[in-house]
Amino acid sequence: MLQRFSHIILAVLSIVSIFSSVERSASQAPTEIVVVGTVHSATEKYSVQDLVRILQRIKPDVILFEYPADMMTPEFEFKSVLKNSLEQQAVIEYVKRSGAKIRPSDIDGRKAFYERTNYFALQRQYNQELSAQIDKKGLGAEARKIFDSLDAADAGRDAIGQSDPLTINSFQADAAINAKQWLMNRGIPEIVRLTPGLKSGEAFWNASRAYWIRRNNEMVRNIKRLAAEFAGKRLVVLCGFEHRYYLRSHLYDWDEQPGYVVKEYWEY
């Protein structure tokens, strides 16, 4: 009888040991971050259902959305739902089926910054001034060369934006957008410096470049913070495709192990 009882105890201990081992294995699972570049409104080649299928393929535990915290409720629901937002519609559909969590990952105060600086009105104004200089051949040879490169890069960006999700999330697209943003953020201030007729826009273009970098860096910090908060989980970062190259490249930390792995959606 005693021997039989001992066998039962050993069997129970063995089962407990197996469950403990499974728990340890689960807790040691790496945190996964998948950065998915999107378009904000559906196109012929990138629809809401395309993004839903990508989410179903990855099966994320958490979706990091390109919104600041003030555009979501304390319960992390959208304060307003936009019917023409590809990302919102796809996320709402996926979350309804899966129960995945949503968290904001954009810079705080984004809307307030744009309103305070009159950003979009000034952007239109200084773009018009640049167009006027081009129309009257007011750019010197060096400035014109920079503009032509930027114009070609913009056309490439537009073509990428009309492509399918796989193309938009490719290395080639990342490299093209990286080059385009470099020309935008460095090239336009240089054109302004070389063109006296554009001098009034110098402060705006420098501020625009600084805010783009600041915003992307804050998004990276938010992603890293949320990766630590949801350690061992799978996180999808949804972002406009022009942010993707920056986020992916800056999520790597060459000085120490970051505690997560960065993957592509087609790896699932």
Alpha carbons within 13 A on the beta-carbon side of 188: 25
The reported pLDDT for the residue numbered 258 is: 77
The reported pLDDT for the residue numbered 146 is: 96
The reported pLDDT for the residue numbered 257 is: 67
Both tokens of residue 163?
A: 């492509």
pLDDT digits (tens, 9 = 90+) for 27-63: 568 999 999 999 999 999 999 999 999 999 999 999 9
Q: What are the residues whose beta carbons fall under 8 Å from the beta carbon of 211, sequence distance 6 or more?
A: 113
Of 164 and 25, the one with more pLDDT: 164
pLDDT digits (tens, 9 = 90+) for 127-166: 999 999 999 999 999 999 999 999 999 999 999 999 999 9
Q: What are the residues whose beta carbons fall under 8 Å from the beta carbon of 233, sequence distance 6 or more?
A: 31, 32, 60, 61, 62
Walk me through the domains of the chain, giving residue ranges and CATH numbers.
Answer: 29-110+219-267 (3.40.1010), 115-212 (no CATH)
Chain-wide mean pLDDT for the chain?
90
Note the pTM of the prediction, 2 decimals: 0.86
Of 17 and 79, the one with more pLDDT: 79
CA distance 225 to 244: 18
Please compute the mean of the pLDDT values over residues 7-31 and round it to a whole number: 53
The reported pLDDT for the residue numbered 255 is: 60
User: Counting Cβ atoms within 10 Å, is residue 96 exposed (0-12), middle (13-18) or buried (19+)?
Assistant: exposed
pLDDT digits (tens, 9 = 90+) for 123-137: 999 999 999 999 999
Distance set, CA 17 to CA 6, 25, 70, 226 (Å): 16, 12, 46, 31
CA distance 177 to 157: 6
DSSP 215-233: HHHHHHHHHHHHHHHTTTS
pLDDT digits (tens, 9 = 90+) for 191-234: 999 999 999 999 999 999 999 999 999 999 999 999 999 999 99
The reported pLDDT for the residue numbered 252 is: 80
Distance set, CA 161 to CA 17, 76, 86, 168, 194 (Å): 52, 28, 13, 7, 31
pLDDT digits (tens, 9 = 90+) for 93-110: 999 999 999 999 999 999
The reported pLDDT for the residue numbered 29 is: 84
Task: Find tokens 């629901």 and name the residue.
Answer: 77
pLDDT digits (tens, 9 = 90+) for 69-93: 999 999 999 999 999 999 999 999 9
CA distance 53 to 38: 13
Distance set, CA 261 to CA 35, 52, 86, 102, 254 (Å): 11, 23, 27, 20, 13
Is residue 68 pLDDT above 60, yes or no?
Answer: yes
| Residues 251/264, Cβ–Cβ less than 8 Å | no
Which candidate, 234, 214, 185, places its Cα nearest to that of 56? 234
